[in-house]
């Protein structure tokens, strides 16, 4: 009887491991007027940021927003303003997860925020270079707290680079609108 019990435990464990191996991180596609960017999110390391971001995605919030800030050799930022530079109403700010161990390296997506540590809402940025030395968590002061990475680009870095090369006017605003048509979950 003990060997049957042990065998059932092994079978149950193997089934659980198999299910976990099949679980995948959520993937979204940022559809822009310059092409698509596919991003894999990391809910294990950034559960609050991922839940927040997917809430906006599922509501269709990002449709008609823009990449409104482009800083060459740094990052591209979007997800909160319309083409006429008007802010959209957002949900309450979330807790900053910059201590999660994910690093602001090229191709990662992170929550944008104000100087207030826990102020991120809908806006995000994609690092176009390794920014870990300046944007990763280095301490508990607002200046050193860092920016929470919650995923990475898995396809479409050429589109990110195209957006990053867009000529800008004062305020780092692209001269030509870089429209986010939609952000959708990849099926």
Is pLDDT of 10 > 70? no
81 assigned to some structural domain = yes
Structure tokens at 28: 């979204």
Asked whether residue 14 is domain-assigned, the answer is no
Residue 127 has pLDDT above 80, yes or no: yes
Nearest to 71 by CA among 27, 20, 21, 131: 131
Q: What is the pLDDT of residue 118?
A: 98
pLDDT at 1: 52
Q: What is the per-residue pLDDT for 39?
A: 98
What's the whole-number average pLDDT of the chain? 91
- Count structural domains, the chain: 1
Joined tokens for residue 98: 């910059």
What secondary structure does DSSP assign to 91-134, as a single string? ---B---TTSS----TTEEEE---SSTT-B-S-EEEESS--HHH
pLDDT single digits (tens) 63-119: 999 999 999 999 999 999 999 999 999 999 999 999 999 999 999 999 999 999 999
Q: Which residues pair with 87 in a beta bridge?
A: 81
DSSP string, 36-100: EEEEEE-TTT-HHHHHHHHHHHHHTTTTTEEEEEEETTTEEEEEEEETTSPBPP----B---TTS
Contact 131, 75 (CB under 8 A): yes
Does the pLDDT of residue 4 top 60, yes or no? Answer: no
Q: Within a domain: residue 19? A: no
Q: What is the CATH number of the domain that holds 173?
A: 2.40.100.10
Q: Is residue 18 part of a domain?
A: no
Q: Establish if 3 belongs to a structural domain.
A: no
Domain that holds residue 148: 25-185
**Mean local confidence (pLDDT), 138-151:** 96
- Report yes or no on 78 lying in a domain: yes
Residue 54 has pLDDT above 60, yes or no: yes
Cα 166 from Cα 174, distance rounded (Å): 6
pTM here is 0.88
> Per the structure block, which two tokens stand in for 117?
């540590």
pLDDT of residue 20: 47
Any domain includes 169:
yes
């Amino acid at each position: 009887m003990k060997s049957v019990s042990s065998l059932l435990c092994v079978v149950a464990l193997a089934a659980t491991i198999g299910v976990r191996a099949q679980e995948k991180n959520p993937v979204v596609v940022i559809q822009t007027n310059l092409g698509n960017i596919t991003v894999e999110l990391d809910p294990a390391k950034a559960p609050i940021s991922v839940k927040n971001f997917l809430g906006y995605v599922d509501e269709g919030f990002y449709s008609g927003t823009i990449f409104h800030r482009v800083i060459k050799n740094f990052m591209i930022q979007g997800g909160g303003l319309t083409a006429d530079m008007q802010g959209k109403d957002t949900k309450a700010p979330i807790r900053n997860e910059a201590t999660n161990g994910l690093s602001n390296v090229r191709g990662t997506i992170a929550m944008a925020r104000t100087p207030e540590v826990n102020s991120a809402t809908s806006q995000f940025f994609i690092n176009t270079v390794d920014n870990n030395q300046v944007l990763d968590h280095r301490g508990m002061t607002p200046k050193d707290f860092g920016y929470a990475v919650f995923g990475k680009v898995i396809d479409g870095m050429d589109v990110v680079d195209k957006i990053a090369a867009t000529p800008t006017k004062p305020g780092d605003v692209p001269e030509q609108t870089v429209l986010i048509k939609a952000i959708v979950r990849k099926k």
